[in-house]
């Protein structure tokens, strides 16, 4: 990880959020929004030479920001994901609803999807054990990242394999989106634009983290 990697993260945020496709399926729209948005958490971790991981990227961002004197900026970063907060009880409800959908999707053919293996036996403890662990640690808001990602992936599989079942489970997914404040195309576009507008300020933070790492 170095300066090139740090610059690359910003480009991926910009390219992803500028290219949102309002004509894509709901699941694809959400995945196209949430991953570039979450790269805002990856950015300081990369600058701090810390592996951000996939599922725990927000926790890693909090740790890096705090270690370099920017802990006060973390609530702003986390709000780009959930709009200001989803309660622990509600996150548990979403995990429980997702578990039912997950079990159905785990029985379906998923080979055509790059993420198909994540929706089977190997992915179950990561999603549900990991999610419960975050909630128990008071990181329920952070847990919503992998909840929304996994829900969207499940619905993407259902839409391709069994569209009727996708329609059955869509209300649960829509409830997740509503709690995150991104229930509509306009909501997602507004949140994406807010992240894009914040990038110069975050660039200053990331640059400061990188300088401190170099200085030791």
Q: Do 103 and 91 reside in the same domain of the chain? A: yes
Helix (H) or strand (E) holding 211: helix 185-215
The Cα–Cα gap between 11 and 201 comes to 15
Task: Tell me what the mean pLDDT of segment 165-194 comes to.
Answer: 98
Q: How far is CA 30 from CA 22, 60, 66, 106, 138, in A?
A: 10, 23, 29, 21, 25
pLDDT tens for each residue of 18-36: 999 999 999 999 999 999 9
Residues 123, 78 within the same domain: no
One domain, residues 88 and 77: no
* CA dist., res. 71 & res. 152, Å (int): 30
* CB crowding 22-32: b at 16 or more within 10 Å, else e: eeeebbebbbb
* Residues ≥6 apart with Cβ < 8 Å to 33: 17, 20, 182, 188, 191, 192
Residues 47 and 88 in one domain: no
Is the same domain home to 77 and 109? no
Query: Is the same domain home to 93 and 163?
Result: yes
Which helix (H) or strand (E) segment is 167 a member of? helix 163-180
C-alpha to C-alpha distance for 10 and 14, rounded to whole angstroms: 6
Model pTM score: 0.94
- Does 156 lie in the same domain as 89? yes
Parent domain of 210: 1-83+185-216
CA 48: distance to chain centroid? 20
**Residues 10, 38 share a domain:** yes
For residues 31 and 78, membership in a common domain is answered with yes
- Domain co-membership, 147 together with 63: no
Same structural domain for residues 128 and 169? yes
Q: Which whole number is the average pLDDT over 184-189?
A: 98
In this structure, the answer to whether residues 98 and 166 fall within a common structural domain is: yes
Total domain count, the chain: 2
Distances (CA, A) of 206 to 25, 136, 153: 34, 30, 31
- Tens of pLDDT, residue by residue over 116-164, are 999 999 899 999 999 999 999 999 999 999 999 999 999 999 999 999 9
Q: How far apart are CA 214 and CA 216, in angstroms?
A: 5
What does the longest C-alpha to C-alpha distance in the chain come to? Answer: 57
Task: Quote the pLDDT of residue 2.
Answer: 64
pLDDT band for 180, please (50, 70, 90 cuts): very high
CA distance 71 to 62: 7
State yes or no: pLDDT of 95 exceeds 80.
yes
* pLDDT at residue 4, as a whole number: 80
């Amino acid at each position: 990880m170095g300066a090139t990697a740090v610059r690359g993260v910003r480009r991926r945020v910009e390219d992803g959020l500028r290219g949102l496709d309002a004509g894509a399926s709901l699941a694809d729209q959400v995945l196209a929004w949430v991953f570039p948005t979450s790269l805002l958490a990856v950015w300081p971790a990369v600058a701090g030479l810390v592996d951000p991981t996939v599922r725990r990227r927000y926790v890693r961002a909090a740790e890096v920001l705090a270690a370099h004197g920017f802990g006060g900026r973390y609530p702003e970063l986390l709000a780009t994901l959930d709009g200001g907060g989803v309660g622990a009880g509600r996150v548990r409800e979403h995990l429980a609803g997702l578990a039912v959908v997950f079990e159905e999707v785990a029985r379906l053919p998923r080979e055509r999807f790059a993420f198909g293996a994540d929706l089977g036996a190997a992915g179950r403890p990561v999603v549900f054990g990991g999610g419960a662990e975050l909630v128990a640690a008071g990181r329920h808001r952070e847990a919503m990242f992998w909840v929304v990602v996994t829900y969207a992936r499940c619905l993407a599989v259902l839409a391709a394999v069994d569209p009727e079942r996708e329609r059955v489970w869509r209300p649960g997914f829509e409830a997740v989106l509503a709690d995150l404040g991104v229930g509509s195309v306009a909501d997602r576009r507004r949140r994406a634009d807010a992240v894009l507008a914040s990038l110069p300020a975050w660039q200053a933070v990331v640059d400061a983290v990188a300088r401190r790492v170099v200085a030791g």
